[in-house]
Copies of this chain bind each other. A is one copy, B any other.
Amino acid sequence: MSTNTVNRGETVTSAIPTVDTAGVLAMLERGRTLATPVLRAAVDRLAPPMDTVAAYHFGWIDAAGHPAHGDGGKAVRPALALLSAEAAGRPPEAGVPGAVAVELVHNFSLLHDDLMDGDEQRRHRDTVWKVHGPAQAILVGDALFALANEILLELGTVEAGRATRRLTAATRKLIDGQAQDISYEHRERVTVEECLEMEGNKTGALLACAASIGAVLGGADDRTADTLEAYGYHLGLAFQAVDDLLGIWGDPEATGKQTWSDLRQRKKSLPVVAALAAGGPASERLGEMLTADAKKTEAEIADFDEDEFAERAALIEEAGGREWTSQEARRQYATAIAALDGVDMEAEVRARFVALADFVVVRKR
Tell me the bound Cα distance from A168 to B151 in angstroms: 10
Asked if A192 is at the interface of the complex by the 8 Å CB criterion, the answer is no
Q: Are B146 and A183 in contact (CB under 8 A)?
A: no
Q: List A111-165 residues whose CB lies under 8 Å from chain B.
A: 112, 115-116, 134-135, 138-139, 141-143, 145-147, 149-150, 153-154, 156, 158, 160-161, 164-165
Q: Are A179 and B116 in contact (CB under 8 A)?
A: no
Residues of chain B with a CB closer than 8 A to A73's CB: none
Residue from A116, A141, A143, A149 with most neighbouring chain B CB atoms (10 Å): A149
Known contacts A168-B146, A172-B147, A138 near B158 by CB under 8 Å: no
Q: Which of B49, B150, B179, B180 is the one whose CB lies under 8 Å from A168? A: B150
- For residue A169, CB closer than 8 A to chain B, the reply is yes
A176 at the interface (CB under 8 A from B): yes
User: Are B135 and A116 touching (Cβ within 8 A)?
Assistant: yes
* Residues of chain A at interface, number, CB under 8 A: 38
Choice from B134, B139, B149, B175 contacting A149 with Cβ under 8 Å: B149
When distances are taken between beta carbons in the complex, the residues of chain B under 8 Å from A156 are 161, 165
A166 to chain B, nearest CB (A): 9
Q: Knowing A138-B112, A178-B139, A179-B47 touch, does A154 contact B146 (C-beta < 8 A)? A: no
- Contact residues in B for A158 (Cβ distance below 8 Å): 158, 161
- Contact between chains at A116 and B138 (CB < 8 Å): yes
Enumerate 10 A-B pairs (CB-CB under 8 Å) in ascending A order.
A47-B176, A49-B183, A50-B179, A138-B138, A139-B179, A142-B142, A142-B175, A149-B149, A153-B164, A160-B161
A-B contact sample (16 more), CB < 8 A, given A135-B182, A147-B172: A47-B179, A49-B183, A50-B179, A134-B134, A138-B138, A142-B145, A142-B175, A143-B179, A149-B164, A153-B161, A153-B164, A153-B165, A156-B165, A158-B161, A160-B161, A161-B161
